């Protein structure tokens, strides 16, 4: 079935450093969404990317959608302890409301 | 405005029993999706309802079913529970497409 792969699954990041998490699909996506889930919490929407090559920024977070609309990345600069959590990408293949979530990238921030 | 409300938050069942989970979406949202979250598999899509009709369905056995009422509230039911059904069941509402708003989830433990 249609699925998205996230790498890495786990990251330990020193506070103040940058990190990137990646999302890949074998088939073209209609759009991709990113969510963040804090420990013990529920997923919270971060952003949606729709256009090929799209880049969006939210303060220290930069989201990219690949030219072929098969991959995406989330880059966080100057990591803070509040960035701890699991980041999920969710691919939408045909514009409907059936999202295929990746398994997430669990991020631990080392003070 | 109030967020997505899921009840019950925690429940314990034994194998062979059945369970019904409830989800009240954000006022005005007509789409309700259900996801199963487990540590090893991430978020797995169960089904989506829009205006009382099942619009999308994931790859779960027939023991998993759902419905949506005219006020957009949704229920999901799992019959003949198995140990592997232990998970966090997340409900998410939306206008129809785009950003999902998740509830806190119902954590089911099957003994």
Whether the CB-CB separation of A29 and A23 falls below 8 Å is answered with: no
* CA proximity to A31, closest of A105, A89, A103, A104: A89
Q: What pLDDT, on the 0 to 100 scale, is given for residue A102? A: 94
Residues 9-38 of B with CB under 8 A from A: 31, 33, 35
What separation in angstroms does the CA of A17 have from each of A20, A79, A83, A107? 11, 5, 11, 13
pLDDT one-digit tens code per residue, B41-100: 889 999 999 999 999 899 999 999 999 999 999 999 999 999 999 999 999 999 877 899
| CA atoms lying within 13 Å on the CB side of residue B30 | 10
Contact B105 A42 (CB under 8 A): yes
Percent of chain A with pLDDT over 70: 97
Q: What pLDDT, on the 0 to 100 scale, is given for residue B97? A: 75
In sequence order, the 6+-apart residues with CB closer than 8 A to the CB of B29 are B72, B93, B94, B95, B101
Q: Does the pLDDT value for residue A95 go beyond 80?
A: no
| CA atoms lying within 13 Å on the CB side of residue A106 | 8
DSSP 8-state symbol, B25: P
Q: What pLDDT, on the 0 to 100 scale, is given for residue A81? A: 96
Whether the CB-CB separation of B37 and B90 falls below 8 Å is answered with: yes
Distance from A11 to chain B by nearest Cα, in Å? 16
> Is some CB atom of chain B closer than 8 A to the CB atom of A98?
yes
Q: What pLDDT, on the 0 to 100 scale, is given for residue B14? A: 98
Q: What pLDDT, on the 0 to 100 scale, is given for residue B57? A: 92
Q: Does the pLDDT value for residue A96 go beyond 80?
A: no
How confident is residue A93, by pLDDT bands cut at 50, 70 and 90? Answer: confident
How confident is residue B22, by pLDDT bands cut at 50, 70 and 90? Answer: very high
In sequence order, the 6+-apart residues with CB closer than 8 A to the CB of A54 are A63, A64, A65
CA B25 distance to own-chain centroid: 11
Mean pLDDT score, A76-89: 97
A42: chain B residues, CB-CB within 8 Å: 90, 102-105
Q: What pLDDT, on the 0 to 100 scale, is given for residue A1? A: 59
Mean pLDDT score, A64-78: 97
Distance from A46 to chain B by nearest Cα, in Å? 9
**Measured between CB atoms, which of B45, B90, B98 is closest to A98?**
B45
In sequence order, the 6+-apart residues with CB closer than 8 A to the CB of B69 are B52, B75
Whether the CB-CB separation of B36 and B43 falls below 8 Å is answered with: yes
Query: CA A79, A83, A84, A90 torsion: positive or negative?
Result: negative
Q: Is B60 helix (H, G, I), strand (E, B) or coil?
A: coil
CA A29 distance to own-chain centroid: 14
A47-61, A74-88, B6-20, B84-98: which has the minimum mean pLDDT? Answer: B84-98
Q: Does the pLDDT value for residue A97 go beyond 80?
A: no
How confident is residue A3, by pLDDT bands cut at 50, 70 and 90? Answer: confident
Contact A1 B59 (CB under 8 A): yes
Mean pLDDT score, A36-60: 96
Q: What pLDDT, on the 0 to 100 scale, is given for residue B1? A: 64
């Amino acid at each position: 079935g249609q699925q998205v792969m996230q790498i890495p699954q786990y990251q330990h990041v020193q506070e103040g450093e940058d990190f990137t998490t990646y999302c890949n699909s074998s088939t073209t996506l209609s759009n991709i969404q990113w969510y963040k889930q804090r420990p013990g919490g529920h997923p919270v929407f971060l952003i949606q990317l729709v256009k090929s090559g799209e880049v969006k920024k939210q303060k220290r977070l930069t989201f990219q959608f690949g030219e072929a609309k098969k991959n995406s990345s989330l880059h966080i600069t100057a990591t803070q302890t509040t960035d701890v959590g699991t980041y999920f990408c969710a691919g939408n293949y045909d514009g409907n409301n059936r999202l295929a979530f990746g398994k997430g990238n669990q991020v631990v921030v080392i003070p | 405005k109030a967020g997505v409300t899921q009840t019950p938050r925690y429940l314990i069942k034994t194998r062979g029993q059945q369970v019904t989970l409830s989800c009240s979406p954000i006022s005005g949202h007509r789409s309700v999706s259900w996801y199963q979250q487990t540590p090893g598999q991430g978020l797995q899509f169960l089904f989506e309802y829009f205006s009382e009709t099942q619009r999308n369905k994931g790859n779960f056995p027939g023991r998993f079913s759902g419905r949506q009422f005219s006020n957009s509230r949704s229920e999901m039911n799992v019959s003949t529970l198995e140990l592997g059904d232990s998970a966090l069941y997340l409900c998410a509402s939306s206008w129809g497409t785009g950003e999902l708003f998740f509830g806190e989830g119902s954590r089911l433990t099957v003994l």
